[in-house]
Amino acid sequence: MEELSGGNMNYECCTFRGAVLSIAADTGAIQWKTYVIPEEPKPTKKTRRGTQLY
């Protein structure tokens, strides 16, 4: 999760969007996956220090 990466000055914030998966118990294969936020985050602008914002 992004809370743990926040201390890393090179980490680009706010790219995690969360997901829910159904996994087959016998094989471990992903049966389906849906995201909490449907679209992937897109870069908007950068801070004064060059950190990418989404």
pLDDT reported for residue 7: 66
Q: Is residue 29, in this structure, part of any structural domain at all? A: yes
Q: What is the pLDDT of residue 3?
A: 58
Q: Is residue 44 in a domain?
A: no
- Given a cut of 70, the residues of the chain with pLDDT beneath it are 1-7, 12-13
Tokens of 37: 């936020």
pLDDT at 16: 78
pLDDT value, residue 48: 87
Question: Does the residue 50 lie in any domain?
Answer: no
Domain count, the chain: 1
- What is the pLDDT at residue 22? 98
- Within a domain: residue 30? yes
- Note whether residue 24 is domain-resident: yes
Q: Is residue 48 part of a domain?
A: no
pLDDT at 18 (0 to 100): 87
Q: Is residue 41 part of a domain?
A: no
Q: Chain-wide mean pLDDT for the chain?
A: 83
Q: How far apart are CA 49 and CA 54, in angstroms?
A: 15
Q: What is the domain range of residue 29? A: 2-35
Q: Indicate whether 23 belongs to any domain.
A: yes
